Amino acid sequence: MRLILVGFGNLGRGLGITLAEKQEFLKKRQGLVPKVVAIVDETGALVNDDGIPSAKFVAMARSGKKVEKLAGAKKGEIVHDTIEKVAADVVLELTPTNIKTGEPGLGHIKTAMKSNKHVITSNKGPLVVAFKELDALAKSQGVEFRYSASVGGAIPVIELARKLLAGNEVQEIKGVLNGTTNYILTRMGEEGAPFDMVLKEAQELGMAEKDPSLDIDGFDTAAKLVILTNSLLAINAKLKDVKIAGIRKITPEAIKLARDAGQAIKLVGAAKKGMLEVSPKMVPLGQPLAVSGSLNAVTLKLDLAREISITGFGAGPKETSSSLLGDLIDLHRTLGC
Amino acid sequence: MRLILVGFGNLGRGLGITLAEKQEFLKKRQGLVPKVVAIVDETGALVNDDGIPSAKFVAMARSGKKVEKLAGAKKGEIVHDTIEKVAADVVLELTPTNIKTGEPGLGHIKTAMKSNKHVITSNKGPLVVAFKELDALAKSQGVEFRYSASVGGAIPVIELARKLLAGNEVQEIKGVLNGTTNYILTRMGEEGAPFDMVLKEAQELGMAEKDPSLDIDGFDTAAKLVILTNSLLAINAKLKDVKIAGIRKITPEAIKLARDAGQAIKLVGAAKKGMLEVSPKMVPLGQPLAVSGSLNAVTLKLDLAREISITGFGAGPKETSSSLLGDLIDLHRTLGC
């Protein structure tokens, strides 16, 4: 299976290392032989028609260099050119998310589909901005489109609902979809410390961004909720349809009071017909959404199974490579390449 | 897709009703048209080569009658005959579990496979007694074998690991696998009432069997652990390999002390290489296994995703029909029939 990696940041490098380390495993267990025939980012492209050798690939990924600095790379803005012209089965779009414009991922995915290449992405932006358009383009081009890694990191919730719970109607989705806010709320409860102090600590530990608004004001959760809603409820939802409140006003006293009453306070994204909302909610301890630390969790309400929840780590390059690899194996099984 | 239902108790009837109610849904969403061409139990068989009409099927399921009492049924012990002679794609083996002998399910499954029929079962017995044998027989006969419903009711944990997390090695399995014990432990904590009293209450509510030993002494959990171990860890485990302790000695005081320390007491089945154990364990609140009431939960330790947990209802005819239907849809996708 011939792959083009678009984006060579944490996720692209993490996937590269995983593919190299799992070479034997993938061949033996799945009959899958992935060949990375191109790596490309906004600085340049490295193309190798025979597949970049594993050892070289790992060294490049560990170097942390932009593509233009890799030996043998062509410099320049040649992402679209590379996607179009290099012979490949699958394009892995792994550039950073922009939930307002969807770019540059949106353009990359369209170019890939128009060049009759299957697409796997971890990028929320294009899905938040143009879910229906991309879904339709994939169908009209006859290509597969997978995005397990875009929501919940390692948690394959979309495929869980679509494949394993396929006999059910999904009636409602509720999720703790942002690890940073869950970490902050958990630490506030453990330390009795105020929001600002815990946020600062999280930033120092690299658990929160310098500009934390995307996480703590609920936009990241809302973006994931939009993707889940489009994927599983067959509702054409956009970010502007979500009523959003973040966690800035939560106090350690409120968390303590809730805990004394057998509850946890979580930033919950919830969606059903006519309602999309992100807000801090009380969740009874002992319920699957009451997970602590940086865990994510999603609960699906279903007509037969009633409720199924799935929990795991929502971020991290290795964890996310689990979902990307799951999608790759699925394409391998579907396409036979 | 032509189906034979073996066993017409709660699960068989529940599946029958679900298939009838979901007729349109399955056709439209999955292109699946299931036809029940035979229902058979230890009392007799009802065969209809055109498929038993939905309305009739639902009325029969709701009547609660044994098969011999159904209009048009042949009486007598003709399960094996029916499995062998009726033309069908899939045999659904839904008779009650016997974890010591595996019978009568074990014999039914072998007969089905030897007659070149694919098998779906909810029956733990045959899998606990003869996992490797049945796995090998399915392979040598070239038939598919699915058993999602045998562990965790509505929770598709086996397929989750095999399909969606296929890029991972499963390193360890931990599960709260018995709803009855989880319900009892939860109620003991809520009421501060002793084990015997809560057990009696659970029996009156139909949440526990008259002979509760299978559940509360840990054998049911151990049986499910053996199936998960065989399925996901590639270890040929038997019931005798599991070190088993139940919940009879747990006191409400212990549950309260644990809770004050931020922990819950759960009956946990745990398996990794060289260790299979069922015993009451402290689980931190906020961890996925700390689910309350009659919920089940399974945590998989994995090399890439680190930890993925799945939670849901482990019993009930409607809930279990979610898993049986999931397996049916999977066979439909795999076989195209």
Residues B27 and B148 in one domain: yes
* pLDDT digit string, tens, across residues A90-111: 999 999 999 999 999 999 999 9
* CA B146-B152-B156 angle, 5° bins: 50
Q: Given a cut of 90, is residue A234 above it in pLDDT?
A: no
CB proximity list for A211: less than 8 A, separation 6 or greater: none
Q: CB-CB: which of A18, A306, A307 is closest to B304?
A: A18
The ipTM of this complex is: 0.96
* pLDDT digit string, tens, across residues B244-278: 999 999 999 999 999 999 999 999 999 999 999 99
B88-113 average pLDDT score:
97
Residues A321 and A302 in one domain: no
| Partner-chain contact A305 B313, CB within 8 Å | yes
Question: In the prediction, which pLDDT does B234 show?
Answer: 86
Strands A90-93 and A118-121, by their bridges, are parallel
Distance from CA of A304 to the nearest CA of B (A): 5
Helices A179-191, A195-204: axis angle to 10 degrees equals 120
B133-155 average pLDDT score:
97
Residues B103 and B178 in one domain: no
- Residue A86 — very low, low, confident or very high, per pLDDT cuts 50/70/90? very high
Q: What is the pLDDT of chain B when averaged over all its residues?
A: 96
Residue B212 CB-half CA count within 13 A:
22
Asked about A238 being catalytic, the answer comes back as no
* pLDDT digit string, tens, across residues A200-230: 999 999 889 999 999 999 999 999 999 999 9
State residue A93 phi and psi, 5-degree precision: -95, 110
Residues A210 and A331 in one domain: no
- Residue A236 — very low, low, confident or very high, per pLDDT cuts 50/70/90? very high
CA-nearest residue to A308 within chain B is B312
First to last CA, chain B: 5
Distance from CA of A81 to the nearest CA of B (A): 31
Residues B197 and B119 in one domain: no
Q: CATH code at A11? A: 3.40.50.720
Q: Given a cut of 90, is residue B185 above it in pLDDT?
A: yes
Taking alpha carbons only, the member of A332, A305, A304, A230 closest to residue B163 is: A332
CB A5 within 8 A of CB A40: yes
How far is residue A32's CA from residue A283's CA, in Å, rounded to a whole number?
42
Q: How far is CA A148 from CA A219, B214, B218, B271, in A?
A: 19, 39, 36, 28
Residues B142 and B176 in one domain: no
| Partner-chain contact A291 B287, CB within 8 Å | yes
Specify the DSSP element, H or E, that contains B141: helix B124-141
Residues B290 and B213 in one domain: yes
Q: Rounded to 10 degrees, what is the CA torsion of B2, B5, B11, B17?
A: 50
Taking alpha carbons only, the member of B128, B176, B118, B121 closest to residue B148 is: B121
Number of domains into which chain B is organized: 2
Distance from CA of B192 to the nearest CA of A (A): 15
Q: CATH code at A261? A: 3.30.360.10
* 0.80 surpassed by pTM: yes
B297-301 average pLDDT score:
98
Helix boundaries (H) for chain A: 10-21, 23-25, 54-63, 79-85, 105-114, 124-141, 157-159, 179-191, 195-204, 213-216, 219-232, 252-260, 317-335
Residues A285 and A171 in one domain: yes
Residues B321 and B226 in one domain: no
Task: Identify the domain containing residue A282 by its residue range.
Answer: 162-313
Residues A108 and A27 in one domain: yes
Contact list in A for residue B165 (CB cut-off 8 A) is 156, 322, 326
Question: In the prediction, which pLDDT does A84 show?
Answer: 98
Residues B124 and B261 in one domain: no
Question: In the prediction, which pLDDT does B80 show?
Answer: 97
How far is residue B128's CA from residue B188's CA, in Å, rounded to a whole number?
31
Residues B124 and B189 in one domain: no
